[in-house]
Structures are given as C-alpha cells and as structure tokens.
Amino acid sequence: MSAQPPAQRQVENLAASLKRVGRQKKVLEDWAATLERTVGAHEQVAREREATRAAEIASEQAARLAEQEARAAEQKARAAEQKARAAELAAEQKARLAEHEQKARAAEQKAHAAELAAKQKARAAEQKARAAKQKAHAAELAAEQKARAAERKAHSAELRVRSQELAAVDRRLRRTLESQSFRIGHLIVRIAVSPVKVARWSWRLARRVVVVAYRYGQRSLPAPVVEPIQQVAAKREVAAVRRHEILDLPGEGPVSFVDCRGLTADVRTATYERIAASDEPARTIVLTEDHDFIDLRELGLSFEYLPPFAEGSPWWDEVGGHEKFVAERMAAMRRGYGADDS
C-alpha cells in the first residue's frame, strides 16, 4: 500500500482537495447565506430604521406643525388678549376721561356759578352804591334847594327891606322937594354954584389955550425957557398917573365896558354869568343902574353904578341933563381906567 502510484495520490489529493473545496464551498455558501441573511437583516433593520426615522420625522414634523399651530393659536390668543386688554384700557381711559370731563364740567359749573354769584353781588353792591349816591345826591340837591330857597327868601326879604327903605327915602325926598324951604335953598345953591361953573369952564378954556401955547412954545421958544416948563408938566403928569393907580385892574388886556342898564333881572343875571366866564373878566367893567350889587360881588366883577333918570328928581331937570351927566361920568371912567385914547 505504501507503493501507491503518484497518479492515485494525486487523485486522492485532488479528491481531498475537492472535498476541502466542497467543504469550503459549503462553508462559503453558508457564510454567503449567513451574509445574505445578515445583509437582509441589516437591510430590514435599515429599512425599519428608515421607516422609524420617517415616522419619527413625520411625527416630528407633525409635532412641529402642531407646535406651530399651537404657537399660532397662542399668538392669536395673545393678540386677542392684547386686543381685549387694549379695549379694556381704552374703555378705562374713556371712563376716566368721561369722569375727568364730568369733574371739569362740575368745576366749571361751580366756577361759573361762583362768578355769577360774584357778579350778582357786585351788581347788588353797585346798585346799593348807586342808590346811596342817588340818595346823597338827592339829599344834597334838597339841601341845596333848601339853601337856595332860604337864600332867595333872605334876598327877597332884603330886597323888600331895601325897597321899603328906598320908598321911605323917596317919600322923604319928595317931601323935601315939595317943601318950600328946600326949593328956596336949592335956588340959592344954584345961584351960588353958577359962578363956580363959569369959573370951571373958564379954567378949562384957559387950560386948552395954555396947552396950545405950550405946544407952540416947544417948537418956537428956546431951550432954556422950555425946559423948566417941561419939568413942571412932567411932574403934573406923574402926579396924575399916581392918582389913577388906584383904578388899575389886573391883567394886560384892554379895559372893556359892558352896559347892562335897562335889562330885566333874568337877562341881567345871565349877562353877569357870561362876563364872569369870559377870557378876562377882571378887565371888564359892568355898568349897572340896579342898586342890588350882590350878584356882581359874588361873581367878583368890577362895576360902576349909574343912577337912572327919574322925573321930578332935583339932580336933573330933564333927560338931556341926565345924558350929559352919564357922558361926563363915562369920560371920567375912561380916563380913570386908562381906556381914553385921547
């Protein structure tokens, strides 16, 4: 047996190799089958994992969607809550504004009521003050009217007394004029005064002649003769000016004379008031024939009394004598007050 041929050995070796290869093939097939099963298992596991992952992804996406929906719902709820809060705040603000407006209106109404009350009180006080002023004015007017009435009564009583005195004087004068002794004495006085009047007129004529001669002598006579005469004339002029200083009136305007003779009492009083209200009443001389000088003295006016003409008066035989007296009196007043231009 030891002497087997090589071909058999090779065959045996080959058969052993084939067996080994068969066993290896089986092992390989088993391994391949196992590998296939493993791969299949792995593939199935992978598939399952993929399915699980897909399910997980789907569930995750669904959860995300649900979460997003929940968030959106939550946001909507929050927005609704915010809207509700805003509406509540707006309603609260409106309520507060309405309350403030009511309070402001109430305060305004109170202020308006207080203002009206103050105005009413002020008007009442003003009415009371006016009433008091009117009462005081009425009382003052009543007192003034009473004083004027008393003054008029006193004035009328004084006028009555003066008229009675003048009537008594007039009766005495008439009795005196009607008496024979007065007529004889008056005739004697006129006879005695006649030479005096003649001398006065002679003196005036001589004075005019002397003045004419003096003026002619100033132009023709020499200076030693004229100068002493001029000095004497200047001294006489200064003396005349000094005599007239007592009639000088205040102011610088010209002296004017207002003749109020022959006027009624009302017109005469109104004329006195207009003169007192003029520009220069101090330079105005009132000529009056009324013996009542109270109004003139109260207004502070200067006046001259010119007695009226009365028939049967011993001072003037006729109207011409009275007019001559008035003319001479006016000339003397113009010279005395410095109103005589000549």
Segment 223-270, tens digit of pLDDT: 676 566 656 655 555 444 444 444 555 556 577 889 998 889 899 999
> What pLDDT score was predicted for residue 180?
74
> What pLDDT score was predicted for residue 191?
78
Segment 139-154, tens digit of pLDDT: 888 888 888 888 888 8
pTM summary value: 0.31
CA pseudo-torsion sign 84, 87, 90, 91: negative
Low-confidence ranges of the chain (pLDDT < 70): 1-4, 193, 211, 214-215, 217-219, 221, 223, 225-253, 312-317, 339-342
Report the SS3 class of residue 12: helix
Closest CA to 300 of 325, 279, 281, 315: 281
- Spatial separation of the C-alpha atoms in residues 286 and 266, rounded to whole Å: 16
Please say whether the beta carbons of 287 and 259 come within 8 A. yes
- Spatial separation of the C-alpha atoms in residues 286 and 308, rounded to whole Å: 15
Report the SS3 class of residue 130: helix
- Spatial separation of the C-alpha atoms in residues 209 and 231, rounded to whole Å: 19
Backbone angles phi, psi at 201, to 5 degrees: -65, -35
Report the SS3 class of residue 25: helix
Please say whether the beta carbons of 294 and 157 come within 8 A. no
> What pLDDT score was predicted for residue 243?
44
